[in-house]
Amino acid sequence: MIEGACHCGAVRWKFEAEPDGATACNCSICRRYGALWIYGHEGVDVSVTGPTRSYQRGGRHLAYLFCPHCACVVSWRGNHLEKDGRRRMAVNVRLAEPASVAHLPIDHFDGLDSFDDLPRDGRKVADYWF
């Protein structure tokens, strides 16, 4: 299990699976947030507790959740259920303790131009701390 929390500690998340990697996306919002995402399903392997506020761009596919006190971006949540009835969710591993996620490989997603997964380049989350 991996856990994370916003800066003030009011919002916490748990990820109860072993992620294959953490995604760095360059879309118009992710590059501004600087988040690294790990993905799961709400109430299955991902849970978020504490008060959050959300931002949605035109009510599209995702709601980005952040702490109303310290403003850390905690997660995103799908606005629609998948065919199997589950809701997709991702948490920001930058809010986890570094040692618990340092080993995760970075996956690159081109959310800006091609909407394609890009090849891994050997970097890990630890390489993104500095």
**% of the chain exceeding 90 in pLDDT:** 83
pLDDT score, position 115: 86
pLDDT digits (tens, 9 = 90+) for 3-59: 999 999 999 999 999 999 999 999 989 999 999 999 999 999 999 999 999 999 776
DSSP-assigned letters across all residues of 12-70: EEEE-S--S-EEEE-STTHHHHT--EEEEEBTTTEEEES--EEE-STT-SEEEEE-TTT
pLDDT score, position 112: 86
Q: What is the mean pLDDT of residues 87-112?
A: 94
Domains, the chain, in order of start with CATH, read 2-128 (2.170.150.70)
pLDDT score, position 64: 96
